[in-house]
Amino acid sequence: MAKLAINGGKMQLPEGTIKPWPPIDDTDRKMIMASLESHKHAFGPNCKLFAEEFAAYTGSKYAIFTNSGTAALHMCIVAAGVGAGDQVIVTSYSWSSSATCILHHNAVPVFVDINFDTINMDEDKIEAAITPRTKAIIAVNLHGLTCNFDKLRAIAKKHKLVLIEDSCQAHGAKFKGVNAGKLGDCAAFSFNQNKCLCSGEGGMFVTDNEEMYQAAARLWSFGESSTPMESRDYH
């Protein structure tokens, strides 16, 4: 094996070079042009197809494609029934949307410190943060590593809390063979340029719970639970 550059070997890329992400090929270009030329820019069939395929990929019953992972997190908060003054437990280390999605619904984020071995929220510190106002837990699966959902589900069940997955960085991750997106009551994913699965921008809400799906769908395009192409022929 050749000596690594960090150990004095030959550099394979010029210093400061960043590989473009995501990679784009002719298939992508053809699909983008076909979408633009279809004149269905707001409710094109690709969004519906992507939601169906992603639901199947995670093993979820329902999926709603959104413009961002942040929007999907807002759907999770609404689906969880979080309201003004409620408290939601969340990790102290994540992207800002994990906490601002709580604030934007006039609820209160309660931060729990991380486990320094996993960089995820320390499950053993959660119960000390629970109060009579606690409504939900947002478990952030950071950098593709899931939290310990055996512990999280036990805590949520004991205290009758909704368990939300922030899996914006965890596409394809698993906990004991179970896909991210199927580990909590509902989940949010992101597809922006920094994510391992990228659509330029975009997000996805997934759940197995029909009531949560209907609640989340009320935040999607005019509050419709079905897409306009399924429900009406007018704007």
Question: What is the set of active-site residues?
Answer: 195
Torsion of the alpha carbons at 122, 181, 46 and 77, rounded to the nearest 10? -60
Helix ranges (DSSP H) in 104-170: 149-159
Q: CA nearest 125: which of 166, 155, 85, 102?
A: 155
Alpha-carbon span 221 to 214, nearest angstrom = 13
DSSP summary character for residue 121 = B
What is the Rg, in whole angstroms, of the alpha carbon atoms belonging to the chain?
A: 20
Sign of CA dihedral 152, 154, 157, 160: negative
CB-side neighbour CA atoms (13 Å) of 91: 27
Alpha-carbon span 115 to 122, nearest angstrom = 5
What's the burial of 21, exposed, middle or buried (CB within 10 Å: 0-12/13-18/19+)?
exposed
Q: Angle at Cα 173 formed by Cα 44 and Cα 20, nearest 5°?
A: 60
